[in-house]
Structure 1
Amino acid sequence: MKKHILPLGLAACLLLAACGQTAPSAPSVPAASSAQSASAGVETQAGELEYLSASPDNIGYGAEGDQGFYYIQDSIDRANLHFIDAASGQDIVLCSNPSCTHDSDACPACFTGSPYLAFTGGKLFLLFDVSGSGEEPGHVDVVEPDGSGRRTVYTFALNQSLGGSVAGDGKNLYFLLATYEGDSPAMSLVRLDLAEGSLTELCKVDNSTFLMGVACGKLMLKTIGGESGTGGSPDDFYTQRHTLKAVDPATGEVTPVLEWTQDEYWELVADDSLYLLSAPEGKLHLTVRDLATGSDTDYDLPLETKEDGYAMSLSARNGVFMFSLFNPGESSGSGIQRWACTLETGETQELKLYDPVRGYPFQVMGEAGDKLVVQVPRYSGDDIYSFQQYDYVVCSWQDYLNSQLPE
């Protein structure tokens, strides 16, 4: 039975299919009909390449720096740059001007538009995007870790726009770039030299391409669709081809990794591995593929999805695989539950940190040192119209797994 999936722009949880060897300690699971045979490993390339985004379709909710966590706090008419010190947990607006009210252009941490953030090479980068509107150009600015010395590194053409997530290696930023010449943009993977301020095209890509992450020192791209040979009916969504490729960040050389037909799979690229979450016969199954060797390890999870259910918001930290599971028709709340699976022990537990009004799981924004930064909504009442803002709370990894936050 097919399961409905989040629309493309709403989640980075689109489906992968794969098959492989089953770990001796895990029971076998029926292979999906769309699964492809295991591929060879990706040749590992040394370097400092890092994935700097929260998801393939979001450049970043914040940025993890050497000394703490940076994020943007939005209000109705402005956005402020904040910093959470990893050592003290103190949250400040990143401005050193005495008596500054942080609400005008006089404040270096105040913006009329909300930039995306990326931290690499010991500096913080602000990526301002205007979506190729032609009204004003987007640009990339750099500031020192304390927020000082802001300057523009690169200015985009009026018809150019950032196309999703970003990676970096201390000297360069890598991202998808959309160039508008007509109704639809031409997409390419580019490298921005941060010292010279020059932009180099690494390779052209299809419009339905995402920068999924970094593995084995390579940029991992996934393209959806292409030569699917299907028409326009809703059922054709499940027969689209997906292609995963590795791109050399220095040369732009493209190496195929996997090709499959979409059918009830959700994926994550992290820790030089590909995490494939599926639901054969409604029961969750996880395959972890080591991208360096091409070998698979399988896990059966003691959870089920209902008809039209799906998983989203996949992440992995400290040997723990986390995901949110949506089962429509739940009697209360949003129908979304957050789960964590410790792969070494097989223990699965629900993370019970939920928005008290909307029922959504609290979002982990990033890390500050050895602690997590969790986004917690603040309300003045008990309905959605009383929402005020998101607070960023620092907690230990173990407290998060135990669904606890500081008072």
Structure 2
Amino acid sequence: MPTPLLPVAEAQCRLVALATPLPTARVPLAEAAGRWAAEDIAALRTQPASDLSAMDGYAIRFADLPGPWEVIGESAAGRAFAGAVNAGEAVRIFTGAPMPQGADAVLVQEEAARQGARLTLAGKGPLAPGRHVRPKGLDFTAGETLIQAGERLTPARLALAGIAGHGTLAMRRKVRVAIAATGDELVPPGTPLADAQLPETNRLMLTAQLADLPVEIIDLGILPDRRDALEYAFRAVTADLLVTSGGASVGDHDLIRPALEAAGGEIHFWRIALRPGKPMLAGKLGDAVVLGLPGNPVSAFVTALLFVRPLIAHLSGASDPLPETRRLPLGEPLPANDARADYLRAEVREGRAFASMIQDSSMLQTLARAGCLIVRAPHAPPAKTGDSVEILHLA
């Protein structure tokens, strides 16, 4: 009796359980972009460190309105006024400059008139103490947790860590990913083709899919359909993750499983209730996790999206490594689904998802045009135009 197909969610959970996050090291802030925090990141300083002006104008005491005032100095960013503001006095101030001692409001320059050192009100002026002032600690205070362990260092979080006083951060080391394609028919792109040969593009595609992740790619090239050659290549691998494409099914030339086992590896699960991508397998080879992806390019792309990327995120310390879905209204009806989860290539037009007419897993053109994948659960009923469907956005 054939082994039941493994549901996608269960396969993802079992895959993540095969490995623990990698060791940590401190890396310069400039090298932390796109990685995940290995520990909580707390502020080393208060921001702003003192009360600052939010506008160009004059620092005054609110109690002195409606003026007039005598201008006694200037405060600029990086060059604060050294004295104090007393009754009837004002200090010329610029956006981001420290508020002088004694001043508690800013008279914006559009509402001020000045002749020499004499300053008068030319508008309504600030409506309350603290007006146009950024108070000390408005953004955060020293010791406050700003970024939690497992959160990804987006550009904004990277800037936040920097302004909080950090020059280095604790990150998991980069994931070493070995990528191999298998198949006697495959040749590098751009090579003149003999009969039955095919340009090999899965390694190129997979490497590009991982480009935004903290990885070091080890290109194993194109491996032949020979068990001894595959076994030799697998024994030589030094990586955290071995990804192969092709040879994971049940044909006479599908040799990934026996070669992996001959090299001392073990298969943890195989065949997913997924379309495209059913033949995917997962296992271990020493300390490395092995993912055998199907050879059809769309199947390889989808399984990389659902399994390779999440595993790398998990090894990198992500608290939520699985891809995030959203919802869009359907542009056209879809029939009921069978027992496998469907990930349908679709275009997004006028805010609606339109599934491609042909979903053959060898067709890269439909994948290249797709803006998302429509996710259809096993045994999903027919869907009508306008129904809300779950999607995975494709950048």
The TM-score normalised by the length of structure 2 is 0.23
Structure label with greater radius of gyration: 2
* Larger helix fraction of residues: 2
